[in-house]
Amino acid sequence: MKRYQLHIDGQYRAPKSGAWFETQNPFTGETWAEIPRGDEQDVDLAVQAAHRALTTGPWAEMTATQRGALMRKLGDLIAQEATSLAETEVRDNGKLFAEMHGQLNYLPQWFYYYGGLADKIEGSTLPLDKKGYFAFTRHEPVGVVVAITPWNSPLLLLAWKLAPALAAGCTVVVKPSEFTSASTLEFAALFEKAGFPPGVFNVVTGFGAEVGTALVEHPLVAKISFTGSDATGRIINEKAARLLKHTSMELGGKSPNVVFEDADLEQAVFGAISGIFAATGQTCIAGSRLLVQRSIHDEFVKRLLEVARSARMGDPMSADTQVGPVTTPPQFKKVLDYIDVAKKEGATVVLGGKKGTAPECGNGWFVEPTIFTGVRNDMRIAQEEVFGPVLSIISFEDEADALRIANDVRFGLAAAVWTTDIGRAIRMSEKLQAGTVWVNTYRAVSFMAPFGGYKDSGLGRENGIEAVKAFLQTKSVWINTGAVASNPFVMR
Ligand code: ADP
């Protein structure tokens, strides 16, 4: 069995605790590797290394252009290792190889885009209202950044934090999810190969309550960039507020996918499927509330069922598989519990509703693609994030009704509208309370499109040019070119 090591200050090393924990393959249920159980001593070593790299040595001395060149080199190395990193992710999180391979092949773009941005972070000269000064701003790295990532897309979601952080000149300590740490530990090897100085990128694996807490509370950490559940996000944000640390929070969603009667129904069916059954529904942007206009409700559900019923569960490594297992045993239980809740609330199961026991599911933690009709928006199944292949269908009367239902939820990560009426598409996109609105598509993301949550779905934006600002702090510099103090006891 493979035994991984922590990655601190440019070296792989054993955890101070001398302890490892096991990680399982969600498809076979087998333990396939041991992950180091980091503790606060490893956290201290990693943060000290990141702080040294930030303040002294080659990274701190490097020009932004040189930083960008290193990032592009890293992108090239990721492209070379995309297949093996994707295989590791599939082994650890059970998502389809096709999905993870696609993500890994796309990942270099984050390092090319932000690598290019590194030397375009410009300050400005200030047209001062006071005579006798020259003043300008500098944008400097905010400091040591802690990235805390979830299990659903470990390296993609890390890249969303890491690439802008490196472009800004920060150094990083990452804590991946205890369920899917392997790919991040393998990824760390590429940093030294690319020529990054030691300490710029460190990985401490372990549990949230141990490593996560120690990282958030470490005095040399300036910023925490978190993706995960809103419950954990709140805990971290409260601590960070008390300790005056910067945060960005990408939390959950309960995204409405709204189908109007004038939509291209075939495309809308695919959109509904990709919103909830892709990635086994384990994505923060899952379109878990399907809002269908009453006039087409029955016809749409019929067409949706025809496609959903044929979704093939099975080995995530196989090119034929469309729905893989749920990643973790607690999540598997949670999804099944929510199905029970929905049944008790009076929603009607029209597809699935049980654990997957077909022969091709092997020993995996499968939940059948599940669809509920007759869902009311005040039901728990319509308000709470399930993070699994469970779709709630809610019918609506007209545009105003659709908007009211779509926005009547505490989350606001994403939303989609299916319509052939351009005016309606624009009206809806203006009024939907979500950080991303798709029109006639679903689950599209890009390094250049800002991503983040309205309402309880989070704070701050990742991706796009503005994301780099979250890793910078601004300094104003005043130079006296001849101003003379007439009264030293009064503000100049
Ligand atoms: P999920 O596992 O559902 O994605 P979590 O919010 O539980 O969501 O986990 C996301 C990440 O947060 C994981 O890396 C986890 O270990 C980490 N984490 C959990 N609890 C804490 C905590 N109290 N402090 C810091 N990190 C934590």
For residue range 69-124, list pLDDT tens digits in order.
999 999 999 999 999 999 999 999 999 999 999 999 999 999 999 999 999 999 99
For the chain, state the CA radius of gyration: 24
Nearest CA to 301 among 223, 395, 369?
395
Nearest CA to 280 among 206, 405, 370, 159?
370
Rounded CA-CA distance 457/480 in Å is: 46
* The two structure tokens encoding residue 470: 């979250």
Calculate how far, in angstroms, residue 398's C-alpha sits from the geometric centre of ligand 1: 40
> Does residue 369 surpass a pLDDT of 90?
yes
**AA identity, residue 186:** E
pLDDT at 423: 98
Overall average pLDDT of the 418-432 stretch: 98
Confidence of residue 427 (pLDDT cuts 50, 70, 90): very high
The angle, 0 to 180 degrees and rounded to 10, between the axes of the packed helices 154-168 and 108-117 is 10
Overall average pLDDT of the 373-401 stretch: 98
Residue-wise pLDDT for 32-75, tens only, equals: 999 999 999 999 999 999 999 999 999 999 999 999 999 999 99
Rounded CA-CA distance 87/320 in Å is: 16
Q: Whose CA is nearest to atom 16 of ligand 1?
A: 208
What ranges in 177-225 are assigned the alpha helix state H? 182-187, 189-194, 213-217
Calculate how far, in angstroms, residue 387's C-alpha sits from the geometric centre of ligand 1: 15
**AA identity, residue 58:** P
Nearest CA to 182 among 220, 142, 151, 136?
151
Rounded CA-CA distance 453/133 in Å is: 42
Overall average pLDDT of the 367-372 stretch: 98
pLDDT at 38: 98
- Atom in ligand 1 nearest the alpha carbon of residue 148: 14
Confidence of residue 141 (pLDDT cuts 50, 70, 90): very high
Calculate how far, in angstroms, residue 207's C-alpha sits from the geometric centre of ligand 1: 8
Tell me the CATH number of domain 2-251+457-476, given options 3.40.80.10, 3.40.50.300, 3.20.180.10, 3.40.605.10: 3.40.605.10
Confidence of residue 486 (pLDDT cuts 50, 70, 90): confident
Q: Are 271 and 399 in contact (CB under 8 A)?
A: no
> Does residue 492 surpass a pLDDT of 90?
no
Calculate how far, in angstroms, residue 37's C-alpha sits from the geometric centre of ligand 1: 15
Q: Among 37-51, 355-369, 456-470, name the one with the lowest average pLDDT.
A: 355-369
Residues 6+ apart with CB under 8 A from 392: 288, 289, 290, 342, 347, 372, 375, 379, 381, 382
Q: Are 16 and 42 in contact (CB under 8 A)?
A: yes
pTM of the model: 0.97
Active-site residue numbers? 250, 284
Residue-wise pLDDT for 200-233, tens only, equals: 999 999 999 999 999 999 999 999 999 999 999 9
Q: Whose CA is nearest to atom 17 of ligand 1?
A: 208
What is the percentage of the chain residues whose pLDDT exceeds 90? 98
Q: Whose CA is nearest to atom 19 of ligand 1?
A: 208
- Atom in ligand 1 nearest the alpha carbon of residue 149: 14
pLDDT at 129: 96
Residues 6+ apart with CB under 8 A from 342: 349, 372, 375, 379, 380, 381, 390, 392
Confidence of residue 194 (pLDDT cuts 50, 70, 90): very high
Residues 6+ apart with CB under 8 A from 477: 135, 136, 137, 138
- Atom in ligand 1 nearest the alpha carbon of residue 207: 16
pLDDT at 84: 98
**Which residue matches tokens 């239980």?**
333
pLDDT at 485: 83
What does the mean pLDDT of the chain come to? 97
Helix and strand totals (H; E) in the chain:
16, 22
- Atom in ligand 1 nearest the alpha carbon of residue 151: 4
What ranges in 326-471 are assigned the alpha helix state H? 329-345, 380-383, 399-407, 422-431
- Atom in ligand 1 nearest the alpha carbon of residue 387: 3
**Domain 256-439 top-level CATH class:** alpha beta
Q: Which of 23, 93, 148, 184 maximizes ligand 1 atoms within 8 Å of its Cβ, making it the mutation to test the pocket?
A: 148
Torsion of CA 261, 265, 271, 274, to 10 degrees: 130
* The two structure tokens encoding residue 50: 């990141």
What is the percentage of the chain residues whose pLDDT exceeds 70? 100
Calculate how far, in angstroms, residue 239's C-alpha sits from the geometric centre of ligand 1: 14
Domain ranges of the chain: 2-251+457-476, 256-439
Q: Which of 177, 216, 284, 331 maximizes ligand 1 atoms within 8 Å of its Cβ, making it the mutation to test the pocket?
A: 177
Residues near ligand 1 with C-beta < 6 Å?
148-151, 175, 177-178, 208-209, 212-213, 216, 228-229, 232, 235-236
pLDDT at 277: 96
Rounded CA-CA distance 492/486 in Å is: 9
Calculate how far, in angstroms, residue 328's C-alpha sits from the geometric centre of ligand 1: 13
> Does residue 292 surpass a pLDDT of 90?
yes
